[in-house]
Amino acid sequence: MIHSRKSSSEKAVVISSLTVIAVIISCFIGGIFTQTAKAADPVKLTYANFFPPVHVQSQLAESWCKEVEKRTNGAVKIDYYPGGTLAKAPQIYESVALGVADIGMTVLAYTRGRFPVMGAVDLPMGYTNGVVATKVANAVMEEFKPKEFEDTQVMFLHAHGPGYIHTKKKEIKTLADIKGLKIRSTGMSTYLVNALGGTPVGQSMQETYTSLQKGIVDGSTHPIESNKGWKLAEVLDYCVAENSVGYTATMVVTMNKAKWASLSPEIQKAISEINKEWTLKHGQAWDEIDLAGKQYFTEAGNKIITLDAKESEKWKNAVAPAINSYAQELNTKGFKGTEVVDFIKKSIESSK
């Protein structure tokens, strides 16, 4: 009988081959699991906002975060920090640029001089509502593409409805009544206060209630919604609702540039689509809460003052030199100041 036996060397070759195959299979399967695990790990971002959690604009920002998570199927998760808990209002933009926060919402006017071109949008041009102001802000951004935003990736801009002068104790009926009053102001609203004869006092919204309560200032410039959103109706008596000199405050939602670049094209596309929708949502929300703020203000026993046509024209004429002055200031710094201001005026008219 013939026996078929493999030599020990042949057995060693077989065992060695099987071992190599096993290692290859193991590495392949391990690679699949590693890739799957990596794909399952979401991108985690932080979002800094100065608005208090209960404010509608804060709630909209939070809903934006949730919508990003939803439309990216959980590939992006955002930790939201309202009320200045991650960065204070004046520091939010720089915090995003430096990567302290990945995303942030702030008022451009809180860092006056940092955004010269977009600052022109905030001038007392005669805004009538938040939707118009928001459209104008984004139109200026698209038309002039100011380099002042090059260190971050702007998501979108939005802007509140007409900013008015509010006072405590003293009723304003004419320009003469404003002379010498200390009025809390921010950014371009200082141009309004100066032009009308008052003394602007630079403060953020978070400081306003206490300043009015303690009598540090005699009044404040802000949209009428803030009387409810920031409870300012509790420490005020009058509001001069004069649209002919209505100013706005542009807000930016922006992302750290490196963080944006690290996102996949699919995620970037999804976020860009959400941005377009939320731009309008923020503008509409400003108008809705203006109505609520007006009602809250009057129900608190305060008075809304409406100027007659003759006095309204005086106010408009009083601020015109300030607007022209800002345009010239931009011109001397190498910006297209006159062109920017003219574009804003035409955009307001066409949006009405």
86-99: average pLDDT? 96
- Write out pLDDT tens, residues 267-310: 999 999 999 999 999 999 999 999 999 999 999 999 999 999 99
pLDDT band at residue 39, thresholds of 50, 70 and 90? low
Q: How many other C-beta atoms lie within 10 A of the C-beta of residue 156?
A: 23
What tens digit of pLDDT does each residue of 219-247 get?
999 999 999 999 999 999 999 999 999 99
Instruction: List, by residue range, all CATH 3.40.190.10 domains of the chain.
Output: 163-248+302-320
For residue 206, pLDDT beyond 90: no
Q: How far apart are CA 130 and CA 138, in angstroms?
A: 12
CATH topology of domain 163-248+302-320: D-Maltodextrin-Binding Protein; domain 2 (3.40.190)
Residues in a beta bridge with 221: 165
pLDDT at 33 > cutoff 90: no
- Report the CATH architecture of 43-161+250-289: 3-Layer(aba) Sandwich (3.40)
Give the Å distances, CA to CA, from 19 to 9, 25, 28, 33, 158.
Answer: 15, 10, 14, 21, 64
Q: How many CB atoms lie within 10 A of CB 30?
A: 10
pLDDT score, position 151:
97
Specify which residues 159 forms β-bridges with.
250
**Which residues belong to CATH 3.40.190.170 in the chain?**
43-161+250-289
Under a CB-based contact definition with an 8 Å cutoff, are residues 232 and 165 in contact? no
- What pLDDT score does 175 carry? 96
Q: What is the tens place of the pLDDT at every residue in 123-136?
A: 999 999 999 999 99
Q: Could you tell me how far CA 24 lies from the centroid of its own chain?
A: 53
Q: What is the pTM of this model?
A: 0.85
Closest CA to 51 of 167, 190, 225, 191: 225
- Gyration radius (Cα) of the chain, Å: 28
Q: What is the model's pLDDT at position 214?
A: 97
Kind of pairing, strands 219-223 and 152-159? unpaired
